[in-house]
Structure formats: C-alpha cells, structure tokens
Amino acid sequence: MKMSLENIKVGMCVGQDLYTESGQLITPINTIVTPELLARLKKFRISCLEMTYDSLDDYIFDIKSTSGFKFFQNECTEAKESLTSSLDNILQENPDNSHIDMIKNLSALLYENNKKNINLIDMVYSMHEYSDSVYTHSVNVGMIASHLGHWLNLPEDEIKLLVTCGLFHDIGKLLIPKEILEKPGELTPGEYKIMQSHTSKGFELLDQFDDIDDRIKKVALLHHERCDGTGYPMHFNGDQLDKFSKIIAIADAYEAMTSERVYREPICPFTVVSYFEKEGLHKFDTKYVLKFLNKILNSYLHAKVLLSNDKVAKVIMINKNARSRPLVKVEDGDFIDLSVTPEISIVKMLP
C-alpha cells in the first residue's frame, strides 16, 4: 500500500526499490524502516512510498480472502484427494501405471500453481489448520521443496521432479500400522523401528515400477538420512546423499515441525529455526539450509509473537547471525534485541 511519509513509522517494511531521479538507490525493497532511513527519505524529499503490510494478522487475513488463496486451497484439497486415491491404489495388490501417471499429472499441476503463487510459503502456513495426514504433509513437502529448488536456482525439470519426490517420499508410511502411525504419545523403541522402516518399505514399493524415476525412489529411501551420518536407514553421510534427498529432508523436517500433530501442537517457527541453526547446519546440507532459513524468515517479518516474559511483540528485524533471535518491538513500544537477551525467547506465534 502507498503511504505518505508522515504515516511511515520505524519498524515498518518498505515495499519497493526506491531510486532518486538520477538512478541512485535510496532503499531496496523489504528494508525495515529505521530512524536513519526516515531521515534519508526526508533528505531526498520523498513524500510517499509503497509499504508492505503492517502486521502478519492483516497479511494472513488478506491472503486468506484473496481469490488466489481460495484457488490454492481448492487445489490443495483436490491435490490431497487425488494423491490419497492414487497412493492407496498403488498400495493395492495389482497396481497399474495409471495411478503413477496421475501423480505425475498432479506434480505438474502443483508446479504450475506454485509458479503463480509467490506467497506460497505464507499460503502453506495459512493452510496448516487443514494439515492432518500423510497426504497433506506430502503435498506441503512437495510445494516447499519446489520453492527451495527455485531459491537454489535449480533447472525447471529438477524443480518439477522435487514436487513429485515430495508427493511420494512418505508413501511407505501407508504400510505402517495405524496404531503406530497415529499414536498420541512417544513410540517405544520397537515401534520406532517399525516407523523407521517406512523408508525401505517406500523404496521397495516404488521400485516395482519401471516408470518411476530412480531419483524419486532414492528420496523415499534416503529422506531421513542426515549429512553427519546420524540419520536412517543407511547411515549415509553428506557425500553419499543426492541433492533431491537433501532438499526433501529439509522440507520434510520443517513441515513436520511446524504442523500440528496428534501428539503435539505445532512448534513455533522460531524454535524450528533455532533447531536448524543449532543442529541443522551439520545435519542438513549447509548451503541449502542457509538459503532456506534466510528465505523462510522473511515470511515472519512483522509477525506477532508471544515472548517467554509473557509480553506480546512484533518481529522487526531478522539478525543473520542469530536468525531465531530477532529484534522485536513489545506492545509498550520498547525494542528488545533477542540476540543479546538470552533470558527471553519467542515461545509462540500469535494469530
């Protein structure tokens, strides 16, 4: 939205690249307004400026009311239904290739849809209330992975393949007994072992089909491997893992942690980022995960959060050296730099 200079406040976000008449850049898009920037805008006699949304509430509300989101929501619901019937049919004793083709068509559809939806990560976030199953998780992972592929400048055919990898990666879970898959408590060591077998079960299932790309089969087997060798089932290290498995591993871990599950509430994205920063840089491919975190966190600028001191605050600026500990502004107007205030942390995203 266009705002006049007197209404622009510290902490708001610039929504355009702003140049002088001679072409000198005054401020790039997505810059958070500081007192210095306000002085600079005055100096260049800027009277009005395109700004982005003032709060994530308005933003999410706005996204949800757009025809784009409604289309996206319908597509996701249809994608989930189509994936459910195709995967269930593949599990039948006499599967035929038409269901594989249906999933490939679904991937192409989601890929085309993703290209149109630049706010996809926000849309997936807004959809989380609908996320309740392997099928929804798989659709979300496919979409998140394709976005990461795009951020990594991968070629179009590889990004398309990432969507399909996401749709198929957890197919082995459909072969795990429901009482383990949906157990609302911690798994016993025996149950955990059965749960882990969804990787090899998924691979064996997909391997029956010559029509499925080997890279998709590999992802089903290797998406729980970690670059430091602590994953399963093969305990491979980073050098032994392909880029598709590494990318799906990041999208899968992120989606699983930020979604609600039968046994817990969704984990706050800043806690997830903190996990990725503490452990993820060794467990996941560093260059992929850093790109992912930087891009994802842009979605949470201006988000309303609850702090561990029970105060409500707004995220003002992401600190690249401590991504999970941004600069926040509390409701009474004080700024807190969480990167130098270890006793306070973000505990929850607020609606």
Footprint of Fe ion on this chain (CB under 5 A)? 170
> Can you state the percent helix, strand and coil of the chain, rounding each to 5?
55, 10, 35
Q: Describe the crossing of helices 156-168 and 134-151 by its angle, rounded to 10 degrees.
A: 160
Nearest to 276 by CA among 237, 300, 249: 249
Nearer Cβ to Fe ion, position 221 or 297? 221
Nearer Cβ to Fe ion, position 176 or 296? 176
Nearer Cβ to Fe ion, position 56 or 289? 289
Min dist CB 197 to Fe ion, Å, is 11
Place of tokens 């085309």: 112
Min dist CB 84 to Fe ion, Å, is 17
In this structure, are residues 109 and 142 in contact, taking their beta carbons and an 8 Å threshold? no
What lies within 8 Å, CB to CB, of 119 at 6+ separation is 63, 68
Min dist CB 90 to Fe ion, Å, is 17
- Burial zone of 110 (CB within 10 Å; 0-12 exposed, 13-18 middle, 19+ buried): buried
Min dist CB 257 to Fe ion, Å, is 13
Nearer Cβ to Fe ion, position 137 or 325? 137
Q: Per the structure block, which two tokens stand in for 232?
A: 């399963």
Min dist CB 184 to Fe ion, Å, is 19
Give the separation between CA 346 and CA 323, rounded to whole angstroms: 12
Nearer Cβ to Fe ion, position 170 or 225? 170
Min dist CB 170 to Fe ion, Å, is 5
Min dist CB 256 to Fe ion, Å, is 8
Phi, psi of 314 (to 5 degrees): -120, 140
Q: How many CA atoms lie within 13 A of 242 on its CB side?
A: 14
- Burial zone of 26 (CB within 10 Å; 0-12 exposed, 13-18 middle, 19+ buried): middle
Give the separation between CA 304 and CA 34, rounded to whole angstroms: 19
Min dist CB 198 to Fe ion, Å, is 6
Nearer Cβ to Fe ion, position 80 or 169? 169
Q: Which residue is nearest to Fe ion (CB)?
A: 170
Give the separation between CA 148 and CA 71, rounded to whole angstroms: 22
Nearer Cβ to Fe ion, position 75 or 225? 225
Nearer Cβ to Fe ion, position 141 or 315? 141
Give the separation between CA 248 and CA 311, rounded to whole angstroms: 36
